[in-house]
Amino acid sequence: MKVLVPVKRVIDYNVKVKVKADGTGVDLANVKMSMNPFDEISVEEAIRLKEAGIASEVVIVSIGEKKATDTIRNALAMGADRGILVTEDQGVDLEPLAVAKILAKVVEEEAPELVILGKQAIDNDMNATGQMLAALLGWGQATFASEVKIEDGKAVVTREVDGGLQTISVNLPAIVTTDLRLNEPRYASLPNIMKAKKKPLDEKTAADYGVDTTPRLTVVTTEEPTGRQAGIKVGSVDELIAKLKEGGLV
């Protein structure tokens, strides 16, 4: 069974985001970029399926600017087999619909039985690409996975839902999107980082797939959120209770 894992290069989890003063976006110049954390979990899950003898090949795909090569190499260093880079550099974040359309074409070519994606990218926080890809392919979807089992041509997936956990089974081929607790991604070892440099990496462009990536949403402005002022420090639990009672809160 072939597993396809799309990964996105995003601003690093620990970077403090700064909004540009002119309202045109956030400042991404000279900030650390990394693989989207949920995508790392997806890569890890795919590699574990391979180690368990369930997956035969793990293929990584990333769509975006040329620098996304680093993100793919990172996934290859973790243990994936080969990569596909689809360059499409509009100077803006590609929308999930456009990404899903390109991925649908990649899926047609690669014919994986499972596509594992992160549930959301931590830049646009849209939480949409996996569901959209499932729709375009007419496949079943198991989103926000905390456990994935492959058995009898199905993926049995436990999902993180608002009230607790839900388990569903989805016919293969299927889309799975990963949540936080699915696994803990490994670090790539130095020898594996060296080996990853020799693993195959194909380059394509969005135009090769004939996909129209024109944005459907126009970003009018990007602003700082309305701030919150720090309040006061209280010296004791008694003082805290007095303040809460004053405000009618307890």
Partner 1 sequence: MAVLLLAEVAGDTLAVDATAKAATAGAKLGDVTVLVCGPQAAADEAAKLDGVTKVLLADDAAYANGLAENLADLIVSLAGDYSHIIAPATTTGKNILPRVAALLDVMVITDVTEVVDADTFKRPVYAGNAVQTVKSTDATKVISFRTSTFDAAGSTGSAAVETVSGAGDKGLSAFVEDKVVESDRPELTSAKIVVSGGRGVGSEENFAIIEALADKLGAAVGASRAAVDSGFAPNDQQVGQTGKVVAPDLYIACGISGAIQHLAGMKDSKVIVAINKDEEAPIFQVADFGLVADLFDAVPELTEKL
Restricted to residues 212-231, the positions that interact with partner 1 (CB under 8 A) are: 215-225, 228, 230-231
CA atoms within 13 A on the CB side of 215: 12
**Does residue 30 bind partner 1 (CB under 8 A)?**
no
**Token code pair at residue 179:** 């949540």
**Token code pair at residue 249:** 């809160």
Q: Which is nearer to partner 1, 53 or 231 (CB)?
A: 231
Residues from 120 through 139 that contact partner 1 (CB under 8 A): 120, 122-136, 139
Residue of 53, 91, 163, 210 that binds partner 1 (CB under 8 A): 163
Q: Which is nearer to partner 1, 39 or 81 (CB)?
A: 39
Q: Name the minimum Å distance from CB 45 to partner 1.
A: 16
Q: Which is nearer to partner 1, 168 or 193 (CB)?
A: 168
Q: CA separation (Å) from 243 to 58, 184, 250? A: 57, 42, 10
**Does residue 141 bind partner 1 (CB under 8 A)?**
yes
Q: Which residue, chain included where needed, has tokens 């375009």?
A: 136
Q: CA separation (Å) from 157 to 143, 154, 160, 170? A: 9, 9, 10, 8
The closest of 139, 183, 142 to 159, measured between CA atoms, is: 142
Residue of 66, 89, 90, 171 that binds partner 1 (CB under 8 A): 171
Are 94 and 63 in contact, with CB atoms under 8 Å apart?
Answer: yes
Q: Which residue, chain included where needed, has tokens 């003082």?
A: 239
Beta bridge partners of 35: 9
How far is residue 164's CA from residue 146's CA, in Å, rounded to a whole number? Answer: 11
Q: Which stretch binds partner 1 (CB under 8 A): 42-50, 60-68, 77-85, 169-177?
A: 169-177
Residue of 52, 152, 191, 233 that binds partner 1 (CB under 8 A): 233
**112, burial (CB in 10 Å: exposed 0-12, middle 13-18, buried 19+):** buried
Q: Name the minimum Å distance from CB 225 to partner 1.
A: 5
Q: Which is nearer to partner 1, 166 or 192 (CB)?
A: 166
Q: Phi and psi for 141 in degrees, rounded to 5?
A: -135, 140
Q: Give the x-and-dash track for 33-62 against partner 1 (CB under 8 A).
A: -----x------------------------
Q: Name the minimum Å distance from CB 99 to partner 1.
A: 11
Are 47 and 78 in contact, with CB atoms under 8 Å apart?
Answer: yes
Q: Name the minimum Å distance from CB 20 to partner 1.
A: 9
Residue of 169, 192, 195, 199 that binds partner 1 (CB under 8 A): 169
Q: Which is nearer to partner 1, 202 or 224 (CB)?
A: 224
Residues from 81 through 120 that contact partner 1 (CB under 8 A): 95-97, 100, 119-120
